[in-house]
Amino acid sequence: MTNRTAYSLKRFQGTNAWKYWLILIIATLAVTTSICVALQGRTFDGAYRQGEQLYIQGPDGTPAVVLALRQPGQTVPFRLQSADFVAQVDGVETYAALDRYTNRQGQLVQILSGRSVRVIFASPGRSPSETERQVRTLKLSSFNYSFWVSLFVGVTAFLIGGWVWALKPEDATTRTLAVNGFGMLLAAVSSCAFYAQPVALSPVMIFASTTLNHLATVIFGMTLVGLFLQYPQRLVSPRQFWLCMATGAPVFLLDLLRLLGGPTGIIGYCFVVILLVIALVGVQFYKSRRSPGARASLIWLGLAVVAGGGSWGVIVLAYLVQGQFHNMPESLTFLSFLLLYGGVALGVARFRLFEVGDWAFRIFFFTVAAALFIGLDAFLVYLAGLAKPSAMALSLLLIAFGYLPVRDRLWRRFVHSPRLNENERLASALDMAFTAQPGERHARWRALLHSLFTPASIETLSSDVAETRIEAEGLHLCVPGLNDMPPLRLSYPHAGRALFSPRDIDLVNQIIRLSREAAAGLQAYERGAAEQRQRLAQDLHDDVGAKLVSGLAIADDAVRPYIYGALTDIREIATALVTESAPLDRVLADIRHETVRRLDVAQIELDWPVWPEDAPFVLLSSLQKKILSSAIRELVTNIIKHARAARVSVRMTVGASRLNGRIEDNGAGFPETVTQGIWNGQGLKNISDRLGQLHGDVQLSNLSPGTVVIFGFPLLTDVKNAEGPIS
């Protein structure tokens, strides 16, 4: 937001400054004009309007209804009617009624043209009496609140539209929006004379105001339709666009020539516009199905239209149903247009002021609640015949117990993506940092980012990202590389329903910091552990090994093989201590390398196909590695010593989650006791015990000639992870 402010300030000082000045001057002019025009309205001392009646303060201080007015010296008083005080001139149903209204307003203005006026009034429960009051123009403080509401909405809409236009002056959409805002301002200015609620308005003023107001309405309506013809995607050619805009002219002319069926015709036009816009939003929604960026802003726009236009429609319909349309406070409908307007402006400018998606839904839900409330209230009062206060209470209760829980559920369903809480975030970051396999760690990092933002896509960046940043006004989030993982770019968060916000940068930075700290801690620990193991291995070799080597010198031929075996074991253990887990292919390469040399010395042929390069990646733990190596070594030793074989074949395979081995020779075969399960030699017993440690097994059987040993052990999670999608 700070950036944006700075940005607009810079713009303000730049070549666009004249645009800002223009907007400010127009807005100031509009406000001044409105107030000046409204101040022309005529009234007399103590008069005020309420509902469809005129009141004055009675002699005893209680309000008294004004029944009639006459000029001093005029004999026949002018009897006031409720039709003289309609709030909504556009709501007068027939042209005849409108003419009558205008005519009577003219007479009233005539009566109020003198310095004072004779007022005939009736306090409740008393007979009518007469008094003389001073005639004057309206005071600023006596303007009805409608005046201020509509002026506020008009000016705000115009400022928003103008601001967006000044920020992106080259964009056709923002130009349309600016004109749209101007239409709103014009509508407000032209309504001000009515909304200030004087006792009477001159017919000229009535005609000028309604004409200008209808022109403004047409401009607003056409540009609103025009906006959705171009945004987010251009649906028509510029020529077709102007043709569409031009249809506003005949509408205005028909209205001016009284050919729209009645003064309310312009309201009908507004309904048509709202329906058209909703339809266009639908079309745009469909068209932007492959463009999450356009959709993100469109969802916001669509909701603004539904919320703003919808609430306007509900209010108008509610008054129509009651037959009270001419009494509808139009300033309220202005507010619903402001809602629509603000949404449109935000969507067009695509500012990341806050989490747009969340707010869109929030406003939408509030609107639904408001609409339901008004609808229910109206239903209970006018159709079920309930008294007003109890109807309102009942609708409130129904909304509270019926709608709000549904809303919460909808909220969770649509908006509140399952965000990880602080603890889960910490756990995920640590999980990732502690994952040994780079591929899996990478996958977890992506999964974590995905669970946080549910972006439509995550891509790996080739160039380095120095710090987390937002690109394309919130469409993308660039995440720097983490430890050995490459930088990533996340696009279209929350499946394209929202944009990235500065808060997301903080979140990512926090996780990156956590993971780096965790990784650093782990490395320090591993360094320490590795040093410890190194020392152990050194001691084992130097101390135990040296003693065994000394023993070799005095050992006899029977003992010597055992000492050599022990030395090999020590070497194996020392290696296992120093090296941690290792990839299966490297372990098998080492074992094969050793086996082929030993059999070479013993002049036994080996058939052991080289491990396929496309085999799944499997990581063996140091224990698995050690047991696999020593099992094969022991079996080969047996063959060299006892089998008198000429040929050995070894087959290693990795299955779903199991490593299998099969070693076959063409020698003398095992003694019967062995195949029956009585393993006297320590070697075979050892193999069985050790594989048992890994939940594996070994089977020995005789062939003719020779033996076959089948062994294997489960790889637990390692194979599954390796085969899983690592992208």
Partner 1 sequence: MTTERVCLLVEDQRPNQVRMTDALTAAFDNIRIEVAGTVKESRQWLASRASLGFTLAVIDLGLPDGSGVDIIADITGSFPNVTTIVSSIYDDDGHLFEALAAGARGYLVKNQEPEMMVHYLQRIEQGEPPLSPSIALRLLSHFRTQIRPPSDVALTGRETETLALLARGLTIAEVARHLLLSPPTVAGYVKAIYQKLNISSRAEATLHAVKRGLV
Q: Give the interface with partner 1 as residue ranges (CB under 8 A).
A: 541, 545-546, 549-550, 552-553, 561, 564, 567-568, 571, 574-575, 578-579, 585-586, 588-593, 596-598, 600-601, 610-611, 613
Cα torsion for 288, 293, 298, 304, to the nearest 10°?
170
For 386, the token pair is 């309930």
Shortest distance in whole angstroms from residue 576 CB to partner 1: 11
CA distance 685 to 677: 10
Q: Identify which of 686, 685, 680, 677 has the alpha carbon closest to the alpha carbon of residue 626.
A: 686
CB–CB of 136/154 below 8 Å?
A: no
In angstroms, give the least distance from the CB of 606 to partner 1: 9
Instruction: Give 99 or 600: the residue with its C-beta nearer to partner 1.
Output: 600
Least distance in angstroms from the C-beta of 707 to partner 1: 23
Nearer to partner 1, 358 or 572 (CB): 572
Distance of alpha carbon 74 from alpha carbon 69, whole angstroms:
10
Distance CA 210, CA 588 (A): 91
How far apart CA 54 and CA 121 sit, in angstroms, is: 10
Angstrom distance (rounded) from CA 554 to CA 435: 50
CB-nearer residue toward partner 1: 383 or 553: 553
Supply the minimum distance, in Å, between the C-beta of residue 541 and partner 1: 6
Do residues 176 and 23 make contact, with C-beta atoms less than 8 angstroms apart?
no
334: exposed, middle or buried (Cβ count in 10 Å: 0-12, 13-18, 19+):
buried
Helix residue spans in 288-383 (DSSP H): 292-322, 330-349, 356-378
- Minimum CB separation of residue 644 from partner 1 in Å reads 17
Instruction: Tell me whether residue 422 or residue 557 sits nearer to partner 1 (CB atom).
Output: 557
CB of 596 to partner 1, least distance (A): 5
Do 455 and 491 form a contact (C-beta atoms < 8 A)?
Answer: yes
Strands, E assignment, 505-623:
582-583, 605-607, 619-620
CB of 590 to partner 1, least distance (A): 5
Residue ranges of the alpha helices (H) in 379-501? 388-398, 404-414, 422-434, 438-453, 493-496
Residue pair 495/293 in contact (Cβ under 8 Å)? The answer is no
CB 726 → partner 1: shortest distance, Å?
22
Task: CB nearer to partner 1: give 185 or 652.
Answer: 652
- The 3 state secondary structure assigned to 622-638 is HHHHHHHHHHHHHHHHH
From CA 49, how far away is CA 317, in angstroms rounded? 25
What residues pair up with 53 in beta bridges, in sequence order? 50
Rg (CA), the chain: 43
Rounded to a whole number of angstroms, the minimum distance from the CB of residue 484 to partner 1 is 16
Query: Whose Cβ is closer to partner 1: residue 170's or residue 613's?
Result: 613
Smallest gap, in angstroms, from Cβ of residue 358 to partner 1? Answer: 49
In terms of CB distance, is 39 or 536 closer to partner 1? 536
Nearer to partner 1, 471 or 600 (CB): 600
Nearer to partner 1, 447 or 596 (CB): 596
Task: Give the span between the Cα atoms of 360 and 636, in whole angstroms.
Answer: 72
Which residue, 609 or 692, has its beta carbon nearer to partner 1?
A: 609
